[in-house]
Amino acid sequence: MDRPEPRHEEGRSPGVRGRPRSEAVERAIIEGVMRLLEEGVSLGDMSIERIARTAGVGKATIYRRWKGKEELFVEVMRVVDAPDQELPGESVRDDLVVILEGIRHRGLAKRSSALLQSLLAQAKNYPQLWDLYHAEIVATRRARLTQVLKRGIASGELRGDVDLSLMADLFTGPLLTRTILSHDAPLPDGLSETVVDTVIEGLRT
């Protein structure tokens, strides 16, 4: 199967900073993890030694880039996940649609990708890994949404008397419900626009 290239957020450098990085080596390590997942190896049985052997590198090569399995697995989750699209930055409404579209597309990808389903399902059984995933990926996405909402309040497009965290939930809740809690719920084109327009109508100043 075609595997996506490893991605890194701007300004983010996992592992030891300042060391020269080899994209080819990193790609081999991440593909090694993916190969083991495809073979049915669980995260618990996936040792650094086994990953290194599969990737054709030494254990030290992995530890130079990631402190341990948890950080490596988060990087794999970042790679197999759909990337966040750049926000237009011109309209709060359009930015919110882009953010919700990201959730919708990740939901569709999860339904169609056995690898992604397996990785996310297994990750939930490891609290340290799940917490790290939320801290590095989910929290970053939440912060981006919060910045858009703050911009909407400052411009007068959104009410300022609603708790920001609750406001974020009002926008993302319908998509998260359909992608996480209801695995067979429809995720049609136009759903993000409908949710955003409906919630904005109730949050107008």
> Cβ neighbours of residue 21 under 8 Å, at least 6 residues apart?
13, 65
Supply the pLDDT for residue 20. Answer: 43
pLDDT digits (tens, 9 = 90+) for 177-198: 998 888 789 999 999 999 999 9
Residue 142: which of 186, 183, 172, 97 has the closest Cα?
172
Positions of CATH 1.10.357.10 in the chain? 92-203
SS3 18: coil
Kindly report which listed range (17-21, 68-72, 100-104) carries the lowest average pLDDT score.
Answer: 17-21
Is 0.85 surpassed by the pTM of this model? no
- Number of CB atoms found within 10 A of residue 126's CB: 16
User: And the tokens for 93?
Assistant: 């409404």
The CATH number of domain 23-80, selected from 3.40.50.1100, 1.10.10.60, 1.10.3720.10, 1.10.1740.10: 1.10.10.60
Classified by CATH at the fold level, domain 92-203 comes out as: Tetracycline Repressor; domain 2 (1.10.357)
> Cβ neighbours of residue 128 under 8 Å, at least 6 residues apart?
70
